[in-house]
Structure 1
């Protein structure tokens, strides 16, 4: 089933969330969101697709996405891919990730540019400007000064922007969104809008509650960047998105970092 846009010719898309359940779906609908891009960490594409389908209905379209961790844990650069048909693991080389996305005609997005050691910087965007379909200009987890670089890169390299709540916490869903000037009723239509550079505007909520939610999301970063997670992910070699996992059938052995 497909979602109906909130206004004729307009689709409000929260372009990146990490959580999805009944409460998240209800909150998205209550906030007028038409489309959620669900891209949880370290979860394989078939599982993401199944969960996205389970929460898609006539009011809300949930599109599966993958935020791939390229490179090593210490120098990981995130890329958000929408429209993948085949799984792509984490911890492969930066160049290999771009090649895998291109083979599948996926839309490639640069989330939270310049943030800590997990994002693309100016030189990364410069080198891959022809392969990046959108740069995040507002991330609900970050503060205004941290979002500034995204706006600068979007303007400097003439790459369309996008906004998302980047919700790791349920209450953050719908804090930021991208309003496309077209209806989007399927994953394919969202991918086309991104790859074609369809006109859009980025919005976010404001005021005291918005700042509190941003602060709560930012505080959630602790475990995301802990050595404990590093050990769990890399030492076992059996995490679902580890490039050595049997599910990938050795296809990425020549470009894996671990």
Structure 2
């Protein structure tokens, strides 16, 4: 489908028929789908199943680098091979470089889960965009993100960061021209093409953001981590058999994650 512009909701965590319908209703042309703790082959299958001529679903990974208490999130598009969570930042970046992936910085400067301004500045040439609008965040946090992008001279991007179905399409990144498939969307970010960051307005938008923000209390607890790491063989841990030991030497939990849980 040829378009004069392409609207990309550049980071969502949920995907089903209702999400697809809402995205189309809100004029979104592409979703970047990056659920937590889900391996790339699974993400790709879901993305393919929910893509059609009206909506492209781009498979991506939000990779957690470092340990749970000091993790740095990176949103990565265009991966050819799976990369696990909980490896060192440098090892993750080296793997992204090897695969020529597009590396985006979600929610910069937020809590202990994001790259800080000095970290972004230090690695700016290796980072393809910095999120400047995230529906989940509060206005002062988004303002700080814009300042970080400006001071580090990185292109911005916007997303709904939807963990809840009703948030999809609340914000997006708009490129001129037609991006007709997932590869074209990845290229637009990798090549750092001009774009505009747009979001919906009004009370409904702010309430939706506050609901998403409240959801953070669940998303960032050690209780959740304990459940995820109960067996030590979860899908995106470096120790999972699927990675065939390739990342054992750069895992931040080389001695087993149980050794790192709070006492």
TM more than 0.5? yes
Out of 223, 230, 234, which is 2:229 matched to?
Answer: 234
Q: How does 1:144-223 map to 2 (within 5 A)?
A: 144-223=139-218
1:251 corresponds in structure 2 to 246
- Compute the displacement of 1:119 (Å): 0.3
Out of 78, 100, 103, which is 1:105 matched to?
Answer: 100
Q: Alignment partner of 2:249: what SS?
A: coil
Out of 129, 137, 149, which is 2:132 matched to?
Answer: 137
Deviation string 1:46-83 (CA, Å, 9 cap, x unpaired) is: 00000000000010000000000100000000000000
Instruction: Give 5+ residue unaligned stretches, structure 2.
Output: 254-263
Distance in 2 of aligned mates of 1:255 and 1:204: 38
2:66 corresponds in structure 1 to 71
Q: Alignment partner of 1:14: what SS?
A: strand
Distance in 1 of aligned mates of 2:102 and 2:177: 17
Distance in 1 of aligned mates of 2:148 and 2:212: 24
Deviation string 1:205-229 (CA, Å, 9 cap, x unpaired) is: 1110001000100111122111112
Alignment coverage as a number of residue pairs? 253
Give the TM-score normalised by structure 1. 0.96
Deviation string 1:23-58 (CA, Å, 9 cap, x unpaired) is: 000000000000000000000000000000000001
Deviation string 1:122-164 (CA, Å, 9 cap, x unpaired) is: 1110111000000000001111101112211211121100000
Distance in 2 of aligned mates of 1:149 and 1:98: 24
Distance in 1 of aligned mates of 2:83 and 2:226: 21
- Compute the displacement of 1:234 (Å): 3.2
Q: By percentage of residues, which structure has more helix? A: 2
Q: Alignment partner of 1:29: what SS?
A: helix
Q: How does 1:80-95 map to 2 (within 5 A)?
A: 80-95=75-90
CA RMSD, aligned part only?
0.9
C-alpha contact (below 8 Å) 1:233/1:242 kept by paired residues? no
1:115 corresponds in structure 2 to 110
Give the TM-score normalised by structure 2. 0.94
Q: Alignment partner of 1:199: what SS?
A: coil
Q: Alignment partner of 1:74: what SS?
A: helix
Deviation string 1:88-134 (CA, Å, 9 cap, x unpaired) is: 00000011111111110100000000111100001110111000000
Distance in 2 of aligned mates of 1:203 and 1:108: 21
Distance in 1 of aligned mates of 2:158 and 2:187: 17
- Compute the displacement of 1:200 (Å): 0.4
Out of 57, 62, 67, which is 2:57 matched to?
Answer: 62
Tell whether 2:41 aligns with 1:46.
Answer: yes
Instruction: Give 5+ residue unaligned stretches, structure 1.
Output: none
Distance in 2 of aligned mates of 1:37 and 1:214: 19
Distance in 1 of aligned mates of 2:197 and 2:66: 29
